[in-house]
Amino acid sequence: MLRDGSKVLIRQVQPADAALLADGFARLSPQSRRMRFLARKDQLSASELRYFTDIDHHDHEALGALDQADGRGVGVARYVRDADDPHAAEIAVTIVDDWQGRGLGTELLTRLSGRARSEGICRFTALVAADNMAMARLLRNMSASLIDRSPGAVEYEITLMPPRKSTATSTPVSMRGNSLA
């Protein structure tokens, strides 16, 4: 349960989730889309929807959060393994605007970290819009280090701790602590 009493279900993204992802994308503000894609992005193509949902759960993992009240997608965290370094992966976290600030990004990234460790990934990188203060705060709370700054973007790195016992990927969530926005 979130701080405001709402509940989400977090699970692995599947190919059948393309419509949920498209709906979630449509509910993002233009600013949230720009922060996620580092450029103006008005829509997702059919091939992008396939790429974001038809994943192998090894080199490319995505965890989605669904609002238990209405079943709509409210957030996604994903990693894509670095082709040149199999122990590293780039991450992205997206939370629909009206769900930001509830701790969902932290929970998704925590669970994604567990999945990554179980797949042999030891390090995350994240390229973030320079003005994306919420994502910068989330990454700092996950002990990320700033590794590069360029015009309009910053890059962070997170060293993943050794795996814990297990991280469930299809259970209701009770979330406390840090918020995304």
What average pLDDT does this structure show over 76-86?
97
pLDDT in tens, 99-149: 998 989 999 999 999 999 999 999 999 999 999 999 999 999 899 999 999
The DSSP output letter for 73 is E
What average pLDDT does this structure show over 35-64?
94
Residue 144 lies in a domain: yes
Strands of the sheet containing 145-150, edge to edge, are: 145-150, 153-159, 123-129, 85-95, 73-82, 60-67, 8-12, 171-172
Residue 147 DSSP SS3: strand
Residue 173 DSSP SS3: coil
Which of the four pLDDT bands, split at 50, 70 and 90, describes residue 78?
very high
Residue 178 lies in a domain: no
CATH number at residue 50: 3.40.630.30
Determine what percent of the chain is predicted with pLDDT higher than 90.
76
Q: Is the pLDDT of residue 176 over 70?
A: no
Residue 171 lies in a domain: no
State how far the Cα of 27 lies from the Cα of 21, in Å rounded to an integer. 10
Nearest to 126 by CA among 108, 111, 148: 148
Residue 89 lies in a domain: yes
Residue 175 lies in a domain: no
Q: How far is CA 160 from the centre of its chain?
A: 15
Beta strand segments in 83-161, E: 85-95, 123-129, 145-150, 153-159
Q: Which domain holds residue 91?
A: 8-164
The dihedrals phi and psi of 104, each to the nearest 5 degrees, come to -65, -40
Residue 17 lies in a domain: yes
Instruction: State residue 170's pLDDT score.
Output: 43
What average pLDDT does this structure show over 141-162?
91
Q: What is the pTM assigned to this prediction? A: 0.86
- Looking from the CA of 118 toward its CB, the CA atoms found within 13 Å total 16
Q: How many domains, in total, are found in the chain?
A: 1
What average pLDDT does this structure show over 146-157?
93
Residue 37 lies in a domain: yes
Residue 174 lies in a domain: no
Ramachandran sector of residue 57 (left: φ over 0; alpha: ψ -120 to 50; beta: rest): left
Q: To the nearest whole number, what is the mean pLDDT of the chain?
A: 87
Q: Is the pLDDT of residue 84 over 90?
A: yes
Which of the four pLDDT bands, split at 50, 70 and 90, describes residue 2?
low
Nearest to 127 by CA among 147, 151, 148, 155: 155
